[in-house]
Amino acid sequence: MASWNDSFLIGVKIIDDQHKKLFGMVDEFYLRLADSNNEGPIIMLVKGLKEYSRIHFSTEEMLMEKYAFPGIKSHKASHVSFVNQVAVYEAKLKGNGVLMPMEMAKFLKNWIAQHVASEDKLISAYLDKIDVKKNYM
Ligand SMILES: [Fe+2]
Ligand SMILES: [Fe+2]
């Protein structure tokens, strides 16, 4: 499973900084899991991740709108599916006492890494194609 490395850079600083932070939050999730069985802090972490991913997704979606990225519809749908899946895990953590934090941690890490490496990179490629100077954004 991939941790943050520069192969995930897309070249837009605000987005790259947010991605680094998201990867860091997932790493913290793993550390917390190794550390204790206390569900309290895990629930707080999930809440934080959910909130931060919302902020990140809206940043990305504003960027896609601004430059009329053609794949915006399916990209937004991917973001929605992530938020929904996180909500399902969160409900399980809070609700019926069936804790699957490791499954959740794996999902988060895989999803974020794959999404950045595939879909988010498409935004970057598109900005290059329409000649937007990403390093000045
Ligand atoms: Fe992203
Ligand atoms: Fe995205």
Tell me the pLDDT tens digit for each residue of 34-55.
776 666 778 888 899 999 999 9
Tens-digit pLDDT profile for residues 10-39: 999 999 999 999 999 999 888 888 776 666
Which ligand is the nearest neighbour of the Cα of 79?
2
Question: Is 119 exposed, middle or buried (CB count within 10 Å of its CB: 0-12, 13-18, 19+)?
Answer: middle
C-alpha to C-alpha distance for 6 and 24, rounded to whole angstroms = 14
Domain ranges within the chain, ordered by starting residue = 11-136
**First and final C-alpha spacing in the chain:** 30
Q: Which CATH architecture has domain 11-136?
A: Up-down Bundle (1.20)
Which ligand is the nearest neighbour of the Cα of 77?
2
From ligand 2's centre to the CA of 43, what distance in Å? 24
Give this prediction's pTM: 0.92
From ligand 2's centre to the CA of 78, what distance in Å? 7
Which ligand is the nearest neighbour of the Cα of 116?
1
From ligand 1's centre to the CA of 97, what distance in Å? 31
From ligand 2's centre to the CA of 12, what distance in Å? 13
